Amino acid sequence: MTTHTTAPETPSTPSTGSEPTGIVPIPAHIGRALATGGAVLTVVSTFLPWTWTSDFPGDLTLYGNPGGLQLLVLIGGTLTALLGLASHGVKQLGWLVPAGGTGALTLAALGTFGTAWYTIIAITAELGGLVHLEPGAWVLAAGTLIMLTGALAQPFERPVSEPADPDDTRRDQLRHNARNKLAVVRAALASGTPAPARALPTYAEILVIIAAMAIGLTVFTYGISTPHDESELFIGFLIVVGFCFAALLKAGLVGRVSAITSKHRNITMVGAFVAAAAFPFTQSDDQYATIGVYILIFATVALGLNVVVGLAGLLDLGYVAFLGVGAYTAALVSGSPSSPLNFHVPFWASALLGALVAMIFGVLIGAPTLRLRGDYLAIVTLGFGEIFRLAVLNMDGTSGPDVTNGSNGISAIPNLNVLGFDFGQEHTFLGFTIARFANYFLLMLLITLIVVVVFRRSSDSRIGRAWIAVREDETAARAMGINGFRVKLIAFALGATLAGLAGAVQAHVTYTVTPEQYQFAHVVPPNSAFLLAAVVLGGMGTISGPLVGAALLYLIPAKLQFLGDYQLLTFGLALVLLMRFRPEGLIANRRRQLEFHENTEAPEVLSKAGV
């Protein structure tokens, strides 16, 4: 006969009445109060002068008029204060943290603290000592320290309920369930979990989409308009935007907005392109519209590569060659005096011709190589990219036929003239004057819209599902009757066509096409390495992911030129950190989230996405 001895009951952590804490050993509710109060003090400091001289970028000497880095700290401090109030259970702010928890509060506080202390250190170093700090800077230092102390007191994890003992009596089981319920209540109080957000009416969801597009346009315009000689401002911008985005992501607000945009996909797409079309009208000159049109070219080519890599799962390391094929084709028939063909066709014909020639190259390269997989396919495509560059380099009339002018390339490509509209001249619309690059920005935006529609229709079609099936498991897909080689060849040809279309516009924007523009790894994007990084960084298989990734990968190196030789090192470290903490990309679909986070159950992920 076996006797069962019941062990003495050991109370769980929540039942002792102690509240879980984070790094700083103070109660979480006191930490939330400190974080909120420190954030309010930080906001107040932005309306006070931080230094006495305007030599520091942004003019931080004024009362009641935040400028430069003060404005960025004001945004971060305001978000931290709102998250702190939401974690205190303010019902009106429950929509800000639909996923609950206090992780968003900690991230927002870290971003605000980093920007504030970076500013303080920069003022001290550049102006020559702490004597150059005004009282507002000391208030800022105190407020951010209080805020960070309170944020670091928040618990990392919620208490886990104890499993029930199957040998317990009915009375013991009831007592155990009561302890677990108490633990859940205390965990909710400690983490500030709000009540589930109620569904919004349709008009409110459309307003949310409009607000999201307006915020996106504002952030993009602010980042792209940062002067090159004010590197401190751009670094602060990166810190604030990065941590605030991570905070809103942790809070679940980004997921909920993504669910709303997915529900109204057509409205979202129209709103996004209306917001993008408004960008040139926010600029007083053509300086930053130049960056904008190059970002669109880069983003459009990255979206075409997303068909090959993101949907079909083909690792193409020579994709930039298709961009070069389209650019050289359009340049040869552009009427340029340096073109050996001395031939001119309308733009629509040169764009279609560039896309068609790129598609032919895609089929010719893909047909004999797409039976390879993985690393072998990557090596072959890398070889194709180098072969293309060397071929156009040697077609100079000496080493080969006179087609591309060799290293000199094709220059003096004329501006486009479509139906009497000269893209090289300034034009006035509704009182706004837009110059050459703004004209090309709007044209490239139209090309991007075409590529987005093609990508969306393709990914939702039968061939798109076949691409995804081949990407996940080609052997299983073939067993289900899918012709793997055929669907991969279609993806390769479609991706090449979209790149050729973008290349036709690039030739007219840059005036000149030369072989060194189409290397595998080049200092200035687009190139194959940066294109692939844009797809992976933004989110494979999505529409907005490569667009965001391409914008970041073009804008950040352009603004970090002051780092000199350390530019690529800093940029590479940032990519490593992002891939460590967000391997699925900035904007990832739910399938890839589950692939990279296997320990997370699907229902929990979907609920955080607002579904």
For residue 538, the surrounding DSSP H or E stretch is helix 528-538
Q: Are 157 and 85 in contact (CB under 8 A)?
A: no
Q: What angle do CA 482, 485, 486 make, to 5 degrees?
A: 75
Q: Please, what is the angle between helix 253-263 and helix 202-224, to 10°?
A: 120
455 token code pair: 């990508």
**So what's the pLDDT on residue 189?**
41
State yes or no: cis peptide before 526, omega within 30 of 0.
yes
Interhelix angle for 347-369 vs 320-332, to 10°? 140
Q: Which helix (H) or strand (E) holds 305?
A: helix 287-306
Q: Are 489 and 354 in contact (CB under 8 A)?
A: no
Whole-number Cα distances in Å, 344 to 423, 494, 514: 17, 26, 19
Distance from C-alpha of 65 to C-alpha of 62, rounded to nearest angstrom: 6
Which CA distances in Å does 10 have to 5, 23, 82, 152, 246? 15, 26, 39, 29, 39
Rounded CA-CA distance 372/369 in Å is 6
Prediction pTM value: 0.78
**Chain CA centroid to CA 123, Å:** 30
Residue 454: half-sphere exposure toward Cβ, Cα within 13 Å: 21
**Nearest to residue 347, comparing CAs of 405, 420, 276?**
420
Eight-class DSSP state of 431:
T
Which domains occur in the chain, in start order? 28-157+192-250 (no CATH), 286-560 (1.10.3470)
DSSP letter at 133 equals: B
**Helix, strand, or coil (residue 425):** coil
Phi-psi region of 389 (alpha: psi -120 to 50; beta: other; left: phi over 0): alpha
Name the helix (H) or strand (E) containing 316. none
Number of CB atoms found within 10 A of residue 453's CB: 12
So what's the pLDDT on residue 34?
A: 92
The letter for the amino acid at 349 is A
What element of type H or E holds 508?
helix 484-510
CB-neighbour burial class of residue 14 (10 A; exposed 0-12, middle 13-18, buried 19+):
buried
pLDDT given at position 600: 47
Is the distance from CB of 436 to CB of 415 less than 8 angstroms?
Answer: yes
Specify the pLDDT at position 145.
Answer: 95
pLDDT at residue 165 in the model: 46
Give the number of residues written for the chain. Answer: 611
Query: Of 11, 13, 6, whose CA–CA distance to 175 is shortest?
Result: 11
Query: Is it true that the peptide bond before 25 is cis, omega within 30 degrees of 0?
Result: no
CA angle 540–249–73, rounded 5-degree value: 120
Which of 87, 407, 119 has the alpha carbon at shortest distance from 235?
119
Tokens of 304: 């075409």
Which two tokens mark 426? Answer: 């300034």
Q: Which stretches of the chain score pLDDT less than 50?
A: 1-18, 158-168, 181, 184-196, 600-611
pLDDT tens for 550-564 read 888 888 877 777 776
Helix (H) or strand (E) holding 598: none
Q: Which of 290, 252, 272 is nearest to 86 (CA)?
A: 252
Name residue, tokens 């199957």.
166
Provide the β-strand partners of residue 428: 433
Q: Which amino acid is at 457?
A: R
Distance CA 322, CA 385 (A): 8
d(CA 271, CA 121): 41
For 255-296, write each residue's pLDDT tens digit: 888 888 888 888 888 888 888 888 888 877 777 888 888 889
Q: Which phi and psi (to 5°) does residue 307 adopt? A: -65, -45
C-beta of residue 61 within 8 angstroms of C-beta of residue 47 = no
Return d(Cα 310, Cα 302) in angstroms, integer: 10
> H or E stretch including 433?
strand 432-434
Residue 595 has a pLDDT of 61
Give me the residues paired with residue 427 across strands: 434
What are the counts of helices (DSSP H) followed by strands (DSSP E) for the chain?
22, 4
Tell me the pLDDT tens digit for each residue of 446-502: 999 988 988 888 888 899 899 988 888 888 888 888 888 899 999 999 999 999 999
d(CA 373, CA 396): 35
H helices present in 102-230, as ranges:
103-127, 135-151, 170-191, 202-224
- φ, ψ of residue 418 to 5 degrees: the values are -110, 115
Give dist(CA 414, CA 567) in Å, integer. Answer: 34
Nearest to 168 by CA among 2, 14, 11, 4: 4
Alpha helix ranges (H) inside 46-134: 69-87, 103-127
